[in-house]
């Protein structure tokens, strides 16, 4: 079963954009593994809370991401 975990900043995706992202990842797996994989492809979108991740030792915040 193909499995993808996507971590995104909390509050940056609408329900519609999450659906679009899930569909795009599922399509990509089906393109590689064939249509038989579509029904068993699992895509998990995890929203990471403010300050819950970092890059190069710097904690990423809404301000650092240009969202404030």
Catalytic residue positions, numbered: 2
What count of other Cβ atoms lies within 10 Å of the Cβ of residue 50? 15
Q: Is the dihedral of CA 19, 20, 21, 24 positive or negative?
A: positive
């Amino acid at each position: 079963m193909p499995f993808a975990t996507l971590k995104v900043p909390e509050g940056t995706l609408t329900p519609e954009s999450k659906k679009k992202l899930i569909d795009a990842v599922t399509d990509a797996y089906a393109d590689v593994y064939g249509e038989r994989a579509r029904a068993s492809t699992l895509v998990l979108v995890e929203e990471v809370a403010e300050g819950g991740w970092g890059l190069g030792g710097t904690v990423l915040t809404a301000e650092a991401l240009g969202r404030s």
